[in-house]
Amino acid sequence: MERFITKENLTRLAEELAATHRVLAPVATCGTVTFRRFQPGMALDLHSRMAAVSPKAATFPQTETLLTVKSEIPEKKPVITETLPQGKSVVIGCRPCGARGKLIFNPVYETDTTKDPYFILRRDNTVFVSLACDRPETTCFCHSVGSGPADPDGSDVLLTLVGDGYVARSVTEAGEEILKSALFADAGAKGKEADAKNEKAREMMGEAHDYVSAPAKLLARFDDLDFWAAQSAKCISCGACTYMCPTCYCFNITDDDQGLESRRIRTWDNCMSHTFTLEGSGHNPRPTKAHRLKNRIGHKFSYYPDLHGGVMACCGCGRCIKQCPAGVDIRQIVKAAQEYSE
């Protein structure tokens, strides 16, 4: 289905949906754009810049309560309640790369033997209304990892800015439902304009980098700690890259106890942290930032594609590059491994 919606009506749509859904949308606060729980009265900010943090939290919140434990009295058996996520969500105005991030989760969180009900429930109850990008940033490389500025994969509705509104195309049935709202109008000839815009945006990205050799080349550098020490020299070992990343899916589970009540929570974890691999004995198999950066990059461009049909665990949004306090560039590191000669 192809429809058209004005900018104003998109805000109306968000307001309408907010009555029945948890709506996440990019909102600027102090000039910083982040996805927030949209409330009527807020202004959407789809265009000033890509949101600092990816919309990953819609399907994989930073803190997810897995279960609660409650005791009336210490001697009595505690009551354990599983807290599966309830309700439906809509993400409005993410970029195609952000919506695509969750696809990387699928082969890990939903396999024949293991299913993660929290992720699956959230994924199946969240609709992504993405906005195609009209020009690439210096940090964008979605085209190099099998995607593009108007990639519909992972989105339910894809918007393309045309004039004072958006051409809206449904990608899935859930997306089609959204387009049934009376706020949408007939797209008319605007569809052609949208196609031209998307084509132009793709052209502006230039030639894609070929990552086909990356898995093997990175694996070849596995034992070369000098290589990784040099590549990680400027890394400050914080978690900005992983927490911003639409595809990073590692988590930690802890119990938050307060008196006779307790909450088992699942929280984002990050492989740049010393505690990520710290073992109970005190031994740490990844004691330095060189070990840890090797893992982050190896996982995305070597181990994951090796296991999952060559798909890179990266959607090319570039957040890890531009939000890195030290400017570590993941593209350069993979390239350095690809071009490495003894």
Partner 1 sequence: MSQLDDLKNAIKGRLGELECVIGWEQGYDSLHATPLFIRSEADLDRLIIGPLAVHNLVTYLTGFKGKKVGVVVKGCDSRSVIQLLNEKLINRDDVVIFGLCCDGVVSQRKIRAALPADPGFVESVEIGASDLKVTVAGQAATLRLSDVLADKCLICDTPDAIVSDVLIGTPHTPAPAASLACQDEFEAKSDAEKFAFWQETMSRCIRCYACRNACPMCVCRDHCIATSRDPLWLSQDNSPAENMMFQMVHVSHLAGRCTECGECERACPVDIPLMLLRRYMNRQVKDVFEMQAGKVLDQTPPLLTFKVQEERINERGW
Partner 2 sequence: MPAQDVRELRIVGFLCNWCSYGGADTAGVSRFTQPTDLRIIRVPCSGRIDPLFIVRSLMNGADGVLVSGCHPRDCHYAEGNFYARRRLEMLKRFLPITGIDARRFEYTWVSASEGQRWQHVVTEFTRRVHEFGPAPTFNPASEADWNALAVQAGQGQACPCHG
List contacts with partner 2 (CB under 8 A). Answer: 27-31, 36-37, 39, 41-43, 45, 48
* Residues with Cβ within 8 Å of residue 250, at least 6 apart in sequence: 242, 268, 269, 270, 271, 276
- Which residue in 265, 313, 315, 333 binds partner 1 (CB under 8 A)? 265
Measured distance CA(147)–CA(141) in Å, rounded: 9
Pick 169 or 300: Cβ nearer partner 1: 300
Query: Contact between 32 and partner 1 (CB under 8 A)?
Result: yes
Query: Contact between 137 and partner 1 (CB under 8 A)?
Result: yes
What residues pair up with 254 in beta bridges, in sequence order? 265
State the Rg of the chain over Cα.
22
Pick 14 or 314: Cβ nearer partner 2: 14
Least separation in angstroms between CB 35 and partner 1: 10
Query: Contact between 247 and partner 1 (CB under 8 A)?
Result: no
Angle, vertex CA 308, rays to CA 267 and CA 102, nearest 5: 40
What token pair was written down for 307?
């296991």
Query: Contact between 270 and partner 1 (CB under 8 A)?
Result: yes
Which of partner 1, partner 2, none has residue 63 at its interface (CB below 5 to 8 Å by kind)? partner 1
Which of partner 1, partner 2, none has residue 39 at its interface (CB below 5 to 8 Å by kind)? partner 2
Least separation in angstroms between CB 41 and partner 2: 5
Query: Contact between 322 and partner 1 (CB under 8 A)?
Result: yes
- Which residue in 52, 66, 103, 120 binds partner 1 (CB under 8 A)? 52
* Residues with Cβ within 8 Å of residue 110, at least 6 apart in sequence: 116, 119, 120
Q: How far is CA 235 from CA 109, 155, 317, 333, in A?
A: 29, 33, 19, 12
Amino acid making up residue 129 = V
Measured distance CA(211)–CA(204) in Å, rounded: 20
Binding site for partner 1 (CB under 8 A): 29-32, 34, 48-50, 52-53, 62-63, 135, 137-140, 230, 233-234, 236-240, 242-244, 252, 254, 256, 263, 265, 267-268, 270, 273-275, 318, 321-323, 325-329
